[in-house]
Amino acid sequence: MGAAEIARRLGVGRTRVNQLLKEDPSFPAPYASLAAGHIWRTVDVEAWIAEHRPDLPPPDGQ
């Protein structure tokens, strides 16, 4: 998943996702960096959300 998808999932902007990446050591590291930007494994992001943002509902379809 990319920064835009993470931002939508968290209800924040892409800038905040980049801040989390730089400032929060618990935020998952990107799985890969492409020309279009970083990508993360969904399972890593969802695990971080479950621990740090338990107030958020599960993703659609779960």
- pLDDT in the model for residue 6: 98
- Give the pLDDT confidence score for residue 11 in this predicted structure: 96
- Of 2, 6, 23, 15, whose CA–CA distance to 59 is shortest? 6
pLDDT over 90 at 59, yes or no: no
User: pTM for this one?
Assistant: 0.89
Per-residue confidence (pLDDT) for residue 60, from 0 to 100 = 77
What pLDDT, in 10s, does the model give residues 25-41? 999 999 999 999 999 99
| Average pLDDT score, the chain | 95
- Do the beta carbons of residue 21 and residue 62 sit within 8 Å? no
What torsion, rounded to 10 degrees, do the Cα atoms 20, 40, 62, 48 define? -40
